[in-house]
Amino acid sequence: MKRFILAILIAITLAVLIGSLAYYSGPGYVVFSFAEYTVETSFIFMLGFVAIGFYLFYYLLRFISTLMNIPSYLGSRHIQRQHERSRNSLIKGLIEISEGRFEQAEKMFLKRVGESETALLNYLMAARAAQQLGAYDRRDEYLRLAHESTPSADIAIGLTQAELQLSHKQYEQALATLNHLSGVAPKHRYVKRLLAQTYQRLGDWESLGQMLEELRKHKAMGDEQFHALELETYHGMLNSSIKRVDGDSTERIWKSLPKSLRNEASLIKLYASYLKTISKDTEAEAIIRGFMSDEWDDELAYLYSELNGKDCKRQLETAETWLHNQPRNGLLLMVLGKLSLRCELWGKAKSYFETSISIANHSEAYLQLAVLLEEKMEQPEEAQKIYQQGLAKMVESQNSGGGLLLPKSESTRSTAPVLKVIQ
């Protein structure tokens, strides 16, 4: 329409110009001769006739072209309507899956997938809906169809498959999928992150340890999350080597600890407990002493009291220095009492145990004090009172639901870091 109006304006403008020219220069004339026929007309009329003929011919061609394009136009409109219907189905499916109606969502994603411009997305979302319904065969079939619809989207399809396999605890299958993706995209951050998560869930600490440097290099996760994963990895490696009774491997892992982990209490507890089991109490004492000079940990303090160091008095003096920062710590006072017992300082041990009991209800403090009174200080009556007090406190605490504070034994004490699986 705009072009038609523009053509009329141009025609009017030309007519005005030609009219003005004719008015001032004379009308002139034009003669056409063909065979026996001769046509004579004014120059102005000839120009008007040519202009009108040109526009009539132009719009005649336009009309013929439009008629010829009607079939393709109708076809494109049909395809456009198909795409609109497929988009509406996709949107409805997304709404259904967001609202937890997975069966309806699966049907909507597949309803017009053959007409959709986004067949890849339809199949991937249908696979997620089937996963939620526990239909793992259908899930895998949709992923196969997604690959057929868009072969170039190998990474997107593979990542979706790995995520769904991890969600279903198909760790071996997920590992195979992610190893394939690692070959296709060796620098892909999310692939590395999922691969690390798979090793973590499989408990394959050696393999996870080997890829830590890659995770750091490619910044596959945040610093805090990477530190937590690194800590869990080395804890798992140490624990596995200890269970295998592989002393050389355990020592090698300990010496290879990154600087960021050398002062982690959970790792020190694990390694110091291991050293105690192989009668290397002196080495364990030195490691704990180094840690406790700057930081504090109740379980390490208790483990320190269980070590048979070469010089018990030096061990006691070291622990007494911890009182400067922990003057009201009942467990530390019990530790000092146990170390005083080992050094045969009965009076000091009794004082420490009594002070510990006045601050905290550690059952071992009652027991140690009672044994000391009965066997070393020959006060059986006082010992019986302590036995009874300890039993009464235990019953009272259990009845109130509070629970008596009990130091964990080496066989039950957990030294694993509390970590979340990578998300």
Residue pLDDT, tens place only, 322-362: 999 999 999 999 999 999 999 999 999 999 999 999 998 88
Radius of gyration of the chain (CA): 44
Instruction: Name the burial class of residue 187, with classes exposed (0-12), middle (13-18) and buried (19+) by CB atoms within 10 angstroms of its CB.
Output: exposed
Q: How confident is the model over 310-323, as a mean pLDDT?
A: 94
Instruction: Name the burial class of residue 409, with classes exposed (0-12), middle (13-18) and buried (19+) by CB atoms within 10 angstroms of its CB.
Output: exposed
- Contact in structure between 239 and 270 (CB atoms under 8 Å): yes
The runs of H, that is alpha helices, within 26-135 are 43-98, 102-111, 119-132
pTM score, two decimals? 0.73
**pLDDT at position 329:** 94
Give the span between the Cα atoms of 305 and 4, in whole angstroms. 101
Neighbours of 392 (CB within 10 A): 11
- Measured at the CA of 113, the angle between CA 112 and CA 115, to 5 degrees, comes to 70
Neighbours of 270 (CB within 10 A): 22
155 alpha-carbon distance from chain centroid: 17
- Contact in structure between 143 and 123 (CB atoms under 8 Å): yes
Q: What is the 3-state secondary structure (H, E, C) of 148-160?
A: HHCCCCHHHHHHH
**pLDDT at position 343:** 94
Q: Which residues fall within 8 angstroms of residue 285, CB to CB, at 6 or more apart?
A: 304, 307, 309, 315
Amino acid at 194: L
At 366-412, the pLDDT tens digits run 999 999 999 889 899 998 999 888 888 777 766 665 444 444 444 33
Neighbours of 285 (CB within 10 A): 23
CA dihedral 101, 107, 111, 117 (to 10 degrees): 60
First-to-final CA distance of the chain: 59
**pLDDT at position 144:** 93
Tell me the torsion sign for CA atoms 42, 45, 50, 51: positive
**pLDDT at position 76:** 67
**pLDDT at position 89:** 86
Query: Which pair of structure tokens corresponds to residue 188?
Result: 């892909």
3-class state of residue 263 by DSSP: coil
